[in-house]
Structures are given as structure tokens and as C-alpha cells.
């Protein structure tokens, strides 16, 4: 065998080894991926639910905060209504008491 041919044969041998190693590594990568798919599934599943729960908690929190604001605002309006009523009552107390008296004196 000439020197050149021998080098070619040697190179082909090396090439086969390179491809063989690559195939072994590729198998390993696939093997690892197969091992990881269950984890990926579980993580994605749990992450989706955790995100939804976070969103749900946010919805509830916002609803409660809005409700508290509504209550405060409504009660503020009621307090104002009561102040208006008290103011009118102070102004009209004497007239109302006289009306009661007149009613009683007339009818009793």
C-alpha cells in the first residue's frame, strides 16, 4: 500500500470515529431530553396554574380594594346626607314641635 493510500485509509478511520462519537453524543442528548420531558411537562403545567392562581388572587384583591373604596365613598355620602338632615332639623325643630302641639291640642 502506498503511503498516500495508507493516509487516506487512516483518515477514513478517523472520520468514522468522529461520526461514531457524534452519534454517541447525539444519543446521549436525546436520552437526556427524554429524561427531561416529564420535568418539562410538570413545570409547564405547574407554572400555568401558578400564573392563573396569581391572576386570580390579583382579581380578588382588586375587587376587595374597589369594594372598600366604594363603601368609603358611599358612607361619606351618607354622612353628608345626615349632616344636611341635622342642619334642616336644627332649623325646623321649633316649627315641628309647634306643629305636634297644634295637632294634639286640636285633635285631643
Partner 1 sequence: MKAEGSGIVSRILVDAKEDAESIIVEANKLAEMMVEQQKELGRQKASERVSSVLNDAKNEVGLIQRATFTQTKRKAGWAILSEKDRLISSVIGEAKLKLVDLEKTEKYVPLLEKLIVQAGIVLGGGSIQVALNEHDSKLPLKFDKLAKEIEAKTGAKTRLEVSRERLHVSGGVTLRTPDGKVVVDNTFETILRRREIDLKPRIAKVLFKE
Identify the residue whose cell numbers are 487516506: 8
Give the CA dihedral 37, 42, 45, 51, nearest 10 degrees.
-120
Q: In angstroms, what is the minimal distance from the CB of 15 to partner 1?
A: 3
Q: How far is the CA of 38 from the CAs of 27, 34, 52, 65, in angstroms? A: 18, 8, 21, 40
User: What CA–CA distance (Å, rounded) separates 16 from 35?
Assistant: 28
Phi, psi dihedrals of residue 75, rounded to the nearest 5°: -70, -30
| Minimum gap (Å) between residue 30 Cβ and partner 1 | 6
Q: How far is the CB of 90 from partner 1 (least distance, A)?
A: 9
Q: How far is the CB of 61 from partner 1 (least distance, A)?
A: 10
Question: DSSP assignment, residue 2?
Answer: -
Amino acid at each position: 500500500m502506498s503511503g498516500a493510500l495508507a493516509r487516506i485509509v487512516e483518515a477514513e478511520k478517523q472520520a468514522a470515529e468522529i461520526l461514531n462519537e457524534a452519534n454517541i453524543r447525539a444519543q446521549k442528548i436525546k436520552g437526556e431530553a427524554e429524561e427531561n420531558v416529564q420535568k418539562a411537562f410538570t413545570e409547564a403545567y405547574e407554572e400555568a396554574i401558578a400564573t392563573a392562581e396569581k391572576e386570580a388572587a390579583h382579581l380578588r384583591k382588586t375587587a376587595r380594594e374597589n369594594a372598600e373604596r366604594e363603601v368609603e365613598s358611599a358612607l361619606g355620602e351618607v354622612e353628608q346626607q345626615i349632616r344636611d338632615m341635622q342642619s334642616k332639623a336644627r332649623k325646623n325643630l321649633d316649627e315641628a314641635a309647634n306643629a305636634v302641639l297644634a295637632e294634639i291640642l286640636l285633635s285631643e
